[in-house]
C-alpha cells in the first residue's frame, strides 16, 4: 500500500474536480473536453480542503504546467491538457518530488551500503512498478467507474491509492 501525502491527495482531488467540470469541445474529437476555469475557493468548498493549502497546491501544479491559471473576475484554474493526458504520477511528482519507496534509490545516487546491499535490485523493481502503475492512471480514470480499470483501485479523497502488484 502506498500512502499519498495530503498535498498529493488534494492535488488529485482538485484535478478530478476540474475534469468533472470540463465540457465537450464543439466540433472536436469525440472525447475532447475543454476545462473551464474554477476558483480555488469553489474546489476547496467542494471537497472541504483548507483553502490556503489548496491555493498553494494549485500554484505548484500551474508552475509544473499541469494547470493554467486565469486572472480576473471569472478567473481560476483549468487543466492545461485533457484529463486523459495527465497522469497521477506526474501530479504526485509535481507536488511531492520524485517517488522513491526507500532511501537507497535517490536522485543523488546510491547509499553508502550499495556494495553490500542485497535488496537494492528488488526494491528498484518495486519502485519502477509503482511508477509505471501511477503513470498508467489518468485523471480521466478517476472520474470513471471502478469497473473500467480492473487491477487498480483509486480512492481519491481518502489519501490512498491501493496498488495490486
Render pLDDT for 107-134 as a digit per residue (tens, 0 to 9). 566 666 767 778 777 878 888 888 999 9
Query: Could you tell me how many residues make up the chain?
Result: 165
- Cell 499541469: give the residue: 66
With respect to CATH, is domain 2-163 assigned 1.10.10.10?
yes
Do residues 161 and 130 touch, judged by C-beta distance below 8 A? Answer: no
State how far the Cα of 159 lies from the Cα of 142, in Å rounded to an integer.
13
Query: Tell me: the pLDDT tens digits for 43-96?
Result: 999 999 999 999 999 999 999 999 999 887 778 999 999 999 999 999 999 999
Q: Say whether pTM exceeds 0.85.
A: no
**Annotated domain spans of the chain:** 2-163
Record the cell numbers describing residue 131, joined without a space.
Answer: 511508477
Do residues 155 and 95 touch, judged by C-beta distance below 8 A? Answer: no
Amino acid at each position: 500500500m502506498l500512502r499519498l501525502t495530503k498535498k498529493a491527495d488534494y492535488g488529485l482531488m482538485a484535478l478530478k474536480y476540474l475534469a468533472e467540470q470540463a465540457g465537450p469541445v464543439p466540433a472536436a474529437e469525440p472525447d475532447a473536453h475543454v476545462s473551464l476555469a474554477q476558483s480555488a475557493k469553489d474546489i476547496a468548498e467542494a471537497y472541504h480542503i483548507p483553502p490556503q493549502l489548496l491555493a498553494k497546491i494549485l500554484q505548484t501544479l500551474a508552475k509544473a504546467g499541469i494547470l493554467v491559471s486565469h486572472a480576473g473576475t471569472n478567473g481560476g484554474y483549468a487543466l492545461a491538457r485533457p484529463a486523459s493526458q495527465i497522469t497521477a504520477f506526474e501530479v504526485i511528482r509535481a507536488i511531492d518530488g520524485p517517488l522513491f519507496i526507500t532511501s537507497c534509490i535517490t536522485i543523488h545516487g546510491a547509499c553508502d551500503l550499495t556494495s553490500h546491499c542485497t535488496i537494492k535490485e528488488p526494491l528498484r523493481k518495486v519502485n519502477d512498478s509503482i511508477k509505471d502503475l501511477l503513470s498508467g492512471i489518468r485523471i480521466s480514470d478517476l472520474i470513471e467507474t471502478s469497473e473500467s480499470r480492473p487491477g487498480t483501485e483509486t480512492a481519491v479523497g481518502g489519501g490512498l491509492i491501493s496498488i495490486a502488484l
